[in-house]
Amino acid sequence: EDLVCFRDIRPGAPLHYLVVPVEHMGNCKTLKAEHIPVVKRMMEVGKAVLQRNNFSDLNDVRMGFHWPPFCSISHLHLHVLAPASQLGFLSRLVYRINSYWFIT
């Protein structure tokens, strides 16, 4: 009821979803300590959607946010990609763990 999840229109992995809060939230730079429960719930929803789509290896998942100015929209959205081991060359760069443009 407070989050929506849908497939990314330009998937970077065989399974690539976006988990988005219904209530407007800026981007990951606007997050504060009070938002920790929302982010945790976003991650739980991402894992649940993967499991509903017959993906069970939760150790082979990449989740994170694009760091401004590298996000295309100014509404918080969590990228959920799986299997992370099957990310292509460009996707490995775009969704690189804790890089200048993508934080996990």
Positions marked catalytic: 77
Cis peptide bond prior to 14, omega within 30° of 0: no
> In the chain, where does DSSP find H-type helix?
36-52, 89-94
Residue type, 33: A
Say how far apart CA 32 and CA 10 lie, in whole Å. 29
What radius of gyration do the chain's Cα atoms show?
Answer: 13
> The tokens 């992995």 sit on which residue?
13
